[in-house]
Amino acid sequence: MISAKSYAAQSPETDLAPWDFERREVGPHDVQFDILYCGVCHSDLHQIKNDWFPGIFPMVPGHEIVGRVVKVGDHVKNFKVGDLAGTGCMVDSCQVCENCKQDLEQYCLEGNTQTYNSMERDGSRPTYGGYSNTIVVREEFVLHISEDVDLAATAPLLCAGITTYSPLRHWGVGKGHKLAVLGLGGLGHMGVKFGVAFGAEVTVLSTSANKEEDAKKLGAHHFVVTKDAEQMKAAAGTFDFILDTVSAEHDMDAYLKLLRTNGVMMCVGVPSKPYSIQPFSLLGGRKSVAGSGIGGIKETQEMLDFCAANNIVSDIEMIDIKDITAAYERMVKGDVRYRFVIDMATL
C-alpha cells in the first residue's frame, strides 16, 4: 500500500482536518502522480455536508487534480515518470456499455466511479480525492497536461472547464450565435471564456451589477443586470442559447423569456431543489431546457489541448490547505474570483 496524507472530513458535522490513509499499490494499468494543485469545487462542500446524498466517510474531497507522474504500471503506454498529469471528476467506468464505447464515460450506464465519495470498481475501498499528496488512477482516466500552461490555473479546467466546454460543443455554439451565460462564478467565468473563443456574441446575466467590469475583462460583449426589469425586458427573445451555471434557486420562467424561438437553456448548475417551469414557457417558442454533466475523457483531453493552444486557464486564488474551511465560507458567499486552488505543497 502507498501511504498518503490528506485533509478529510470525518463526518458531515466536522471540518476538514489532516488525515493519513493508504492508497492502493500501482497496478499494471495504473498511473501514480504526486498532486501539486487541486481546485476547490462547490460540490466538494455539498458532498462533505451530505447535501445531495449520504456520503462515505472519512471523505477526502477534490476532483480538479494536477501533478507529476512518479510511477507507472508495467502495461501503461501513454505516460512516463516525470510527465504532467491530471484527473477530473471520475477515475473509472465499466468501459463496455454503449455510452462508454462512444467516449461518454461520464454517462456510463453502470455508473462511473467518482474520484471521491465513491467505491472502487471492485468494491474493495472508497475512492479518495485530490486534497491529498498523491493519487493512483487507471491510465484511461489520466489526462495529459501541457508543460507550457500555468499549472495551478489549469486545475479547475478538470471540472469547471469541461462542465462548460462540453455543452457548448455539444450544441454547436459558435459564430453567428448569441449566448447568454447566467451567473459569473467558477463555472460562469469559464463559460464566458469558451463562448468568446468559439466566436459567439456573449452576454453575462447576473444579479450583481458590480460584476460588469469583470465580465467585460473576461471577454463578454454585453452585461444584463437580472434584477433590472427594464434590462430584462429589453433582452427578451434575443438569445439562441443560455448557459445556466447557477446552483441557487432561480426563476426559470424569467430566463426562458430571453430565448429566441427554438432556443436552448443548457443547465449545468445543481440547485438543491427541483426546477419549477411553467409549460407555456417552453411551448411558446418551442424552447428546450437541457442538462449536461462533465465531458468524457476524450473530450476532456480535447478541451485541455484547446485551452493550451488558446492560452485559456481559470482565474484563480491560491490558498493554503489549512485555510480550506475559511475558503468554503467565502465560496458560499460568492467571495472568490473565480476559483480557489489549493497549493498542495502546504499539506
Q: What's the CATH code of the domain at 101?
A: 3.90.180.10
Whether the per-residue pLDDT at 273 is higher than 90: the answer is no
104 & 208 share domain: no
Strand partners of residue 327: none
pLDDT tens-digit profile of 84-118?
999 999 999 999 999 999 999 999 999 999 999 99
Q: Please tell me the distance from the alpha carbon of residue 19 to that of residue 10, in angstroms, as a whole number.
A: 9
Cα distance between residue 172 and residue 186, in whole Å: 22
Count of the separate structural domains present in the chain: 2
Mean residue pLDDT of the chain comes to: 97
Q: Are residues 149 and 210 in the same domain?
A: no
Q: Is the same domain home to 111 and 192?
A: no
Q: pTM, whole model, 2 decimals?
A: 0.96
Are 174 and 320 part of one and the same domain?
no
Same domain, 139 and 182: no
Residues 10 and 149 in one domain: yes
Do 248 and 234 reside in the same domain of the chain?
A: yes
Q: What is the pLDDT of residues 132-182, one digit of tens each?
A: 999 999 999 999 999 999 999 999 999 999 999 999 999 999 999 999 999
Model pLDDT for residues 199-232, shown as the tens digit of each residue: 999 999 999 999 999 999 999 999 999 999 999 9
Q: What is the CATH number of the domain that holds 182?
A: 3.40.50.720
Give yes or no: residues 15 and 120 share one domain.
yes
Q: Does one domain contain both 142 and 88?
A: yes
**Same structural domain, 19 and 77:** yes
Range of the domain at 172: 161-291
Element (H, E) at 168: helix 160-170
Among 259, 291, 323, give the residue marking a domain's end.
Answer: 291
DSSP-based helix, strand, coil % in the chain, nearest 5: 30, 30, 40
Residue 271 has pLDDT above 90, yes or no: no
pLDDT, one tens digit per residue, over 6-36 is 999 999 999 999 999 999 999 999 999 999 9
